[in-house]
Amino acid sequence: MSTSQLSKPFTEGLAQGVLRYQRCERCGAAQRLARYACTACGETALGWHDARGTGRVFSVTEVKRAPTDAFKAMVPYTLVLVDLDEGARLMGHAPAGLAIGDRVHASVITLDGQPLIRFDPV
Amino acid sequence: MLVLAGENRASGQSRDGAIQTLAQVGDADFEVPNGASVPAYYALLASRYLHEHGLSEADLAEFAVLMRHHAASHPDAQLTAPITVADVLASKPIASPLKLLDCCPISDGAVALVVSSQPSRHDGHAVALTGAGQAHHHQHVSAIADTLDMGASASAQRAFAEAGTGLADVDYLAIYDSFTITLAALLEELGVCPRGGSAEHLRSGAFGVTGATPLNTHGGLMSFGHSGVGGGMAHIAEAYRQLAGRAGARQIAPRRRALLHADGGVLSAHVSLILEQRA
């Protein structure tokens, strides 16, 4: 299974405007990214769950040098890592000025047909 | 055994091509689609680092200034014009808090090493590779479980155990420096200085050519240059030359034991080596 197949519940969820994350069915640990096995206990039974979309900013950067033409049109843009209340950590876009520790809520935006997570202050 | 690496990273591709390559490093589904790239991933670690320790961008800038200062004495270094902390702070924004001078350049370069079971017959001291270790805790920045335990410490402990020595016996440091934050994070996780204390340690002079533990006396990735695999191997070449007493005009006071540490990915793939001078 490619990682993209593994991530399918996440990417399909985004296309439907839903944030999804994996949780271990044995120990309950929320996973980061898409996993074959639990990073806490090794269990391979991991279930996908819908997240509420609320969380707290773990880190933030304002990008001034974009890697592709689509993003060059957006410069500058803010990227954040957010710790969801359920325990997963997700990367997303955010408005300028967001700070570490801020409470945020997620929505899904679309750029060039690509659904992306956007976190806004609560 | 001959270990050889060379790449024309600067002249062999366009600037946009290089930037697009660096943008494919993250997780293909969770990170890359956001328009993130290697500098942005390290910037996310840097913003967290400055927040946790109450430090400023000027603290990180010190490392760029030191690497440039060291590069000035190396005839093969790419960037040798002196810079100040103010220059770093005023350089072009890339991904906050990182500016252009917080980042290594993209370079052409090559390094070759000969590793042998027999001591070198060259002039100078023989140098032995006495320990090696690795640690791999995560691949992508979103998956880092603990930014204070990213694998550097575990890797170095394995190398020290094999060498039968410890950090207290190290008197030369060769540490991967893709960005200023890379140096700060690695030096602190390796235990060279207290958490949040690497810039203050630098200002004390410890990492200078006359300090207790000179750091990257060739100028590191940030100023000697970063030619891919050869960029990291240049740290080994310089550590060898300093231990062997073959560093020519930039030879520092005799050194006995070097800790080399490098990471790949986003502080992901850690490797440590111990080099020791033999009589």
Q: Do A77 and B30 touch (CB under 8 A)?
A: no
The Cα–Cα gap between A1 and B136 comes to 22
Give the long-range contacts of residues B183-186, CB within 8 A, separation 24 or more.
Answer: B183/B63, B183/B215, B183/B220, B184/B49, B184/B59, B184/B60, B184/B63, B185/B45, B185/B49, B185/B147, B185/B150, B185/B152, B185/B267, B186/B152, B186/B261, B186/B263, B186/B267
Contact A79 B36 (CB under 8 A): yes
Q: For residue B94, which residues of chain A lie inside 8 Å, CB to CB?
A: 63-65
- Average pLDDT over chain B, rounded to an integer: 95
Is there a contact between A81 and B92 if contact means CB atoms under 8 Å apart?
no
B 105-144 residues with CB below 8 A of A? 140-143
Per-residue pLDDT of chain A (122 residues; tens, 9 = 90+): 566 899 999 999 999 999 999 999 999 999 999 999 999 999 999 999 999 999 999 999 999 999 888 899 999 999 999 999 999 999 999 999 999 999 999 999 999 899 999 999 99
Region B46-52: mean pLDDT is 98
With CA atoms as reference, the chain A residue closest to B100 would be A65
Chain B environment of A59 (Cβ under 8 Å): 44-45, 47-48, 51
Cβ-based neighbour number of residue B276 at 10 Å: 20
- Which tokens belong to A35? 């996993």
Unique residue bearing structure tokens 């993003």 = A71
- Model pTM score: 0.96
pLDDT in the model for residue B140: 96
φ/ψ of residue B264, rounded to 5: -115, 165
Residue A50: its pLDDT value, please?
A: 98
B50 → chain A, closest CA residue: A59
Angle at which helices B152-163 and B180-189 pack, to 10 degrees? 50
Residue found under tokens 């062997």: B244
pLDDT value of position A70: 86
Q: How many angstroms separate the CA atoms of A50 and A32, rounded? A: 14
- pLDDT tops 90 at residue B204: yes
Which pairing describes strands B257-264 and B172-175: parallel, antiparallel, or unpaired?
A: parallel
The ipTM estimated for the assembled molecules is: 0.96
- Residue A41 burial (CB < 10 Å; 0-12/13-18/19+)? exposed
Tell me the CA distances in angstroms from A37 to A46, B49, B127, B141, B194, one per residue in order.
Answer: 7, 29, 43, 18, 35
Domains belonging to chain A, first-starting first, are: 1-50 (no CATH), 52-122 (2.40.50.840)
B95 vs A: CB within 8 A: yes
Closest CB to A32: pick one of B36, B51, B142.
B142
Q: What CA–CA distance (Å, rounded) separates B256 from B276?
A: 6
pLDDT the model gives residue A1: 55
**Percentage of chain A surpassing pLDDT 90?**
89
Please tell me if residue B69 touches chain A, with a CB cutoff of 8 Å: no
User: Does the beta carbon of A116 lie under 8 angstroms from any beta carbon of chain B?
Assistant: yes
Would you place residue B25 in the very low, low, confident or very high pLDDT band (cuts 50, 70, 90)? Answer: confident
> Which two tokens mark B97?
């808090």
Amino acid at A10: F
* B172 and B239 Cβ atoms separated by less than 8 Å: yes
Instruction: Show the beta-strand stretches assigned E in chain B.
Output: 2-8, 93-95, 98-99, 108-114, 126-136, 172-175, 257-264, 269-278
Per the CB < 8 Å rule, is B22 touching A3?
no
List Cα–Cα distances, A84 to A58, A59, A93, A100, A104, in angstroms. 10, 13, 14, 13, 9
Helix (H, G, I), strand (E, B) or coil at A42: coil
**Cα separations (Å) of B72 from B64, B65, B67, B81, B250?**
13, 11, 9, 7, 10
Rounded to the nearest angstrom, the minimum Cα separation between A16 and chain B is: 15
Q: Which of B29, B34, B45 sits opposite A3 (nearest CB)?
A: B29
Contact A90 B30 (CB under 8 A): yes
Chain A 7-46, CB below 8 Å of chain B: which residues? 7, 10-11, 32-34, 39
Nearest to B29 among A11, A64, A71 (CB): A11
> Cβ separation of B96 and A61 shorter than 8 Å?
yes
Cβ separation of A79 and B19 shorter than 8 Å? no
